[in-house]
Amino acid sequence: MKKVKFAVTHASGLLAEALLQRMAEAGIKSDSIILLDLEQQAGNRLAYGDTYLTVEDQHEYDYEDLTAILLLEPDAELESLLQHADCFVISHFSNKLDQLFFTPELSPPSNLPEQPCAIQLASAELSSLLLVTKVIHNNYQLSSLNVVNVLSSSFYAKSGVDELASQTISLLNSQDVKSAVFPLQLAFNMIPGAPDAEFESQLVSAMQADDMKCSVQNILVAAFHGLSISVSLVVKDKIDLKKLSDLLDEQPGVRLNQQIISPLTDCKKGSEIIITSLHQPQKDANRLQFWIIADSVRNGLIQNYQNMLEILLKS
């Protein structure tokens, strides 16, 4: 039997740090993990459970005899290198690879292809959204869903966080701002995004709701971490708000809180998403509005990777 082995790219990044902690907690042995990163990070030793692993150059590694490669950040050169990889290549974003969209939290393991391929997992915002909207759809049948994702700089990984910090310092010192990661200056600013047709398609597909009307918009704000999602929806069956609140409270990974909260103050620990400001506009029993508050790394995204790894370990 072939030994299970996972390669983790961009191992020094924010997502990798949280993922490796979860993998160690799940009991995945250190000799099953290969840490990879850019050339300047090669040779560094990173903690994994009660031991340390040495980082290798991800552009020089041979990528042989692997179960899966966890491609944690966009990297055009690396994506080209992995086009013919003889193992699963798993990421949470669109890339150059011919990807299969797979949601391990909703799709049965039997739907995973037998032959290795590139797999795109749901993003942090889609994962967080599905935890809630799937419950509502299963009980009340969604007819329309409007979403606004309020994104922080961490959605551009460590380079986004670093650039926001650099821009902020430059402005405070009356210096010119440089934007290499963001399309515009983000510090002390916000950047509305274009309509997200790919997100809409993935959402409808994951919900298995082909007749649902859906719109998704994004706005990038000058915060280092965190995720907030504004949700406005219409259902076919009237909602009993108390019954729905009880259903959501029973959902693993979901917590209700009607107080004023934020990702920074309320999502520092654990992996739950928080629903707040849950109400029916104009007391209309077929309409619902609420906010989803989450940590953009730990909530949804890390759980998706862990679910995927568990499927591969059992296959």
Q: Residue 283 is part of a domain; what is its CATH number?
A: 3.30.360.10
Please check whether residues 157 and 209 belong to one and the same domain.
yes
Lowest mean pLDDT among 84-88, 95-99, 157-161, 263-267: 95-99
Query: For residue 25, is pLDDT > 70?
Result: yes
The CATH number of the domain holding residue 89 is 3.40.50.720
pLDDT band for 106, please (50, 70, 90 cuts).
low
- Return the pLDDT at 184: 94
- Return the pLDDT at 101: 80
Question: Is 198 a domain residue?
Answer: yes
Please check whether residues 25 and 173 belong to one and the same domain.
no
Please check whether residues 34 and 98 belong to one and the same domain.
yes
Question: Is 230 a domain residue?
Answer: yes
DSSP label at 302? I
DSSP label at 30? G
- Return the pLDDT at 58: 96
- Return the pLDDT at 268: 73
Structural domain range at position 308: 6-122+302-314
Query: pLDDT tens across 187-216, in order?
Result: 999 999 988 898 999 899 888 888 999 999
Distance separating alpha carbons of residues 112 and 109, to the nearest angstrom? 6
More confident residue, 278 or 122: 278
Question: Is 1 a domain residue?
Answer: no
- Return the pLDDT at 200: 93
Please check whether residues 108 and 248 belong to one and the same domain.
no
Please check whether residues 288 and 170 belong to one and the same domain.
yes
- Return the pLDDT at 123: 87
Chain mean pLDDT for the chain: 90
- Return the pLDDT at 314: 82
Contacts of 123 (CB under 8 A, 6+ apart): 92, 93, 199, 301
Per DSSP, helices labelled H in the chain are 14-25, 76-81, 124-140, 157-172, 197-207, 241-250, 263-266, 303-314
- Return the pLDDT at 105: 63
DSSP label at 130? H
pLDDT band for 181, please (50, 70, 90 cuts).
very high
Residue with tokens 């002390």: 188
Question: What is the average per-residue pLDDT within 138-150?
Answer: 96
Total domains in the fold of the chain = 2
Question: Is 181 a domain residue?
Answer: yes
Please check whether residues 96 and 173 belong to one and the same domain.
no
Contact assessment for residue 284 and residue 269, using Cβ atoms and an 8 Å cutoff? no
Question: Is 193 a domain residue?
Answer: yes
Length of the chain: 315
- pTM for the model stands at 0.86
Query: For residue 297, is pLDDT > 70?
Result: yes
Query: pLDDT tens across 266-275, in order?
Result: 887 767 899 9
Please check whether residues 91 and 131 belong to one and the same domain.
no
Query: For residue 59, is pLDDT > 70?
Result: yes
Please check whether residues 187 and 75 belong to one and the same domain.
no
159: left (phi over 0), alpha (psi -120 to 50) or beta: alpha
Please check whether residues 194 and 61 belong to one and the same domain.
no
Question: Is 282 a domain residue?
Answer: yes
Please check whether residues 60 and 21 belong to one and the same domain.
yes
Contacts of 145 (CB under 8 A, 6+ apart): 133, 203, 212, 213, 214, 215, 231, 232, 233, 234
- Return the pLDDT at 179: 94
More confident residue, 150 or 306: 150
Please check whether residues 135 and 48 belong to one and the same domain.
no
Please check whether residues 306 and 231 belong to one and the same domain.
no
C-alpha R_g of the chain? 20
Distance separating alpha carbons of residues 227 and 237, to the nearest angstrom? 29
Contacts of 54 (CB under 8 A, 6+ apart): 35, 43, 44, 45
Distance separating alpha carbons of residues 34 and 227, to the nearest angstrom? 30
Distance separating alpha carbons of residues 18 and 306, to the nearest angstrom? 11
